[in-house]
Amino acid sequence: MVFESDVVQKLTTLLILVLLAAMWNALAGYGGLLSVGQQAFIGIGAYGTVFFADLGVAPYVAMLLATLLAGAIALPISLFALRLRAAQFAIGMWVIAEVISLIVRLDQNLGAGTGISLIQLNQYEPNFRQAYTFWLALGFTVVFLAALFFLLRSPLGASLQAIRDDEDAARSLGVRVAARKRLLFVLAGFGCGAAGVLVVANTLFIEPGSVFSVQWSAYMIFMVLVGGLGTFEGPIVGAILLFAIQTTFTQGGPWYLVGLGATAALFALALPRGLWGTVEERLGLRLLPVGYRVVEAKGEERAA
């Protein structure tokens, strides 16, 4: 990388936000699953990296294993979580995140509640470490966004959106609702786990109060609502906006969070389809079209 180390670190942070926004949008925008507990998988990815590194696994290999671990744990969690609907699902996911956080706090090998460092990355010269982490972040982001894009362009994607729009109707048409939801849930678990891996690689230190914080879900909701729920490009736009706000108002304290909430509320009222959703609606611009399109009686097409 030709950029200074602090610039590379910020670019990595931006990629983490893009990845998180895309994964939450996959759940809510295309699967109708409103989660406030995706920080569970962020924490699993972060602490999984430390766990494998402490076993003697090379740090960047440990990151890949931790990502796989997050996705693997998402599968049994889905067996319980996907039995819940609407607000029950949202609250259930938050409870799951808190339970996993409590388990980590009780484990002395993971630093208990005081936090722990990924000291194994100190073997790399700082500039090289940050460059490696950036390329890993870029690779994760490209892979997961590409996987999501091709999934949504496939018949599976159309069935997922049918479930989002009317689950009972989709089931009556023979769609395997539980299996489709589980696929999306596990994919989001992998993606959020990858984001957690990148968080610990980017900061070198984690503690349960930060990686398992519900604030991560607040960020994801903000990015998706502002960018455009149910659009592929919208979460990317929302992530860039949140990154700009974070970079500009890093010392905002609690008022910073109040401002984020107020901004999200204003967007929900003034631009319910978000920035990119409004652009799509008014200009018909779709850079990365996914999903089915409904042909109305007058012959006009409308994005579903």
Residues 6-32 have pLDDT tens digits of: 889 999 999 999 999 999 999 999 888
C-alpha to C-alpha distance for 135 and 124, rounded to whole angstroms? 15
Q: Does the predicted TM-score (pTM) go above 0.95? A: no
Higher pLDDT, 256 or 72: 72
Q: Which domains does the chain have, with CATH numbers?
A: 5-303 (1.10.3470)
Cβ proximity of 192 and 22 under 8 Å:
no
Kindly give the residue spans of alpha helices, DSSP state H, lying in 214-253: 215-227, 234-248
Q: Is 221 a residue whose pLDDT tops 90?
A: yes
Q: How far is CA 74 from the centre of its chain?
A: 13
Q: Is 246 a residue whose pLDDT tops 80?
A: yes
Q: Is 161 a residue whose pLDDT tops 90?
A: no
pLDDT at 3: 64
C-alpha to C-alpha distance for 51 and 285, rounded to whole angstroms? 45
pLDDT at 251: 63
Cβ proximity of 21 and 238 under 8 Å:
yes
